[in-house]
Amino acid sequence: MHKVNFTAHNRLDLLECGAMFFPALIGAIDAAETEVHLETYIFALDAVGQSVQAALQRAAARGVRVRVIADWLGSGGKVSKQLARQFRAAGVEFRSFNPWFIRGVARTHRKLCVVDQQVAFIGGININDDLFSDDYASAPLPAPRWDFAVQVSGPMVAIMQREVELQWIRVGNLELRARWQRFKSARTRLAPHSEAPVLAGLVVRDNLRNRRTIQRAYLLALAGAQHSAVLANPYFAPGRELRDALARAARRGVDVTLLIGVGQFRIQDAVAHSFYPKLLKAGVKVVEYRKTQLHAKVAVVDDSWSTVGSSNCDGLSLFVNQEANVVIRDAGFSVGLRDAIERGIADGIAVDPDAFGHIRWYERYWHGAAYFLYQGVLRIITLGKYTE
């Protein structure tokens, strides 16, 4: 397994939901003096998106170089065109990721921002109002969408800066040879492994050299778990390798709890339910979050290892899309994140193993059929590379 390259002496601040994230993000952009790089899957033109857009345009107006990448599918074709036009008029450089699927099916699902090579943000929060569902229904939510980001300062910001520079190159229109030369140059500037006391590392997933890095980070942490592991994820549909790692940890006595978002997509819920019997039998505790839309992709192992990022525990995030997580080895940060996850667990409903074991036959059939369909779609999307 590939290990995470950690850097020491970073400062990391956990930001819960948009109420904490957007003021910090806009404040950093308003303080920018030289450059801003922003990547997101969804850039909505709602009130929140317009406030971030205005901050980016204010920065460009005072001479800051501002570059924005938004996913074409996540933001929508119409919004992407509107953003391109408005940003261009304001002096902001804007690129839409993979319009019309011209570069295959992969999307950029990353949420990153780096300002002046001094402060950075990473996590799961899109540029949209968290009081409304982030699907096409855009329905009002009973409470703000539950999600996390991390504000970073310290040596890891330089690594994040090089990653966003590389992504700008990827999305550009350079001819192939020039793209490859700049790709190699950007890769060789990455910081080496730190031998100092470790704190945080950037873990990205792409379809080049980092195809399974985020999944491997999870597997390595679970393999070494001794006491506890808590994971919160909205779209739980990992491959067998990760499911088995969770079950093995539980069977050897680790207290494993899964907090899973439900209620947004019926077929996604059915796929997740197809995994419950084996996980529950192994001793994994499964809790369904129903307070509002769960969008967090976070985990804590043994109160010493934790991760926050954009990657869901599903086939699209782990095997198809471009993702970015931060992995943290720091007890103080990990305990704080665990406390936040436990508040979410308290708002959830625990799945009773006995009751779930007696669900009706046609419900079991629906769960299995949903998983069979899901597995088939993933195999088509990945050209047969997705395996159980």
Asked if the domains at 11-188 and 201-381 fall in one CATH topology, the answer is yes
Taking the CA of residue 268 as centre, how many other CA atoms within 13 Å lie in the half-sphere pointing to its CB? Answer: 18
What is the CATH architecture of 201-381?
A: 2-Layer Sandwich (3.30)
pTM for the structure as a whole: 0.92
Domain ranges across the chain: 11-188, 201-381
Nearest-angstrom CA–CA distance, 147 and 309: 10
- Provide the annotated active-site residues: 109, 111, 116, 295, 297, 302
| Rounded Cα–Cα distance for residues 195 and 177 (Å) | 35
Reading the block at residue 243, the tokens are 């499911």
Please list the pLDDT of the chain residue by residue as tens digits (388 residues): 456 889 999 999 999 999 999 999 999 999 999 999 999 999 999 999 999 999 999 999 999 999 999 999 999 999 999 999 999 999 999 999 999 999 899 999 999 999 999 999 999 999 999 999 998 778 999 999 999 999 999 999 999 999 999 999 999 975 444 445 544 544 433 343 444 443 899 999 987 778 889 999 999 999 999 999 999 999 999 999 999 999 999 999 999 999 999 998 999 999 999 999 999 999 999 999 999 999 999 999 999 999 999 999 999 998 899 999 999 999 999 999 999 999 999 999 999 999 998 899 999 999 999 999 998 988 888 766 666 5
CB neighbour list of residue 101: distance below 8 Å, 6 or more residues apart: 73
**Which CATH fold would you assign to the domain 11-188?**
Endonuclease; Chain A (3.30.870)
**Residue 198 has what pLDDT?**
39
Amino acid at the residue 165: E
Angle between helices 240-251 and 213-223 (to 10 degrees): 10
Q: Structure tokens of 348?
A: 């959830």
Going by C-alpha positions, the residue among 97, 114, 124 that lies closest to residue 162 is 114
The full 3-state SS of the chain, as one line of letters, equals CCCCCCECCCEEEEEEHHHHHHHHHHHHHHCCCCEEEEEECCECCCHHHHHHHHHHHHHHHCCCEEEEEEEHHHHCHHHHHHHHHHHHHHCCEEEEECHHHCCCCCCECCCEEEECCCEEEEECCCECCCCECCCCCCCECCCCCECEEEEEECCHHHHHHHHHHHHHHHHCCCCHHHHHHHHHHHHHCCCCCCCCCCCEEEEEECCCCCCCHHHHHHHHHHHCCCCEEEEEECCCECCHHHHHHHHHHHHCCCEEEEEEECCCCHHHHHHHHHHHHHHHHHCCEEEEECCCCECCCEEEECCCEEEEECCCCEHHHHHCCEEEEEEECCHHHHHHHHHHHHHHHHCEEECCHHHHCCCCHHHHHHHHHHHHHHHHHHHHHCCCCCCC
Quote the CA–CA distance of 279 and 244 in Å, as a whole number. 8
Alpha-carbon gap, residue 75 to 314, rounded angstroms: 21
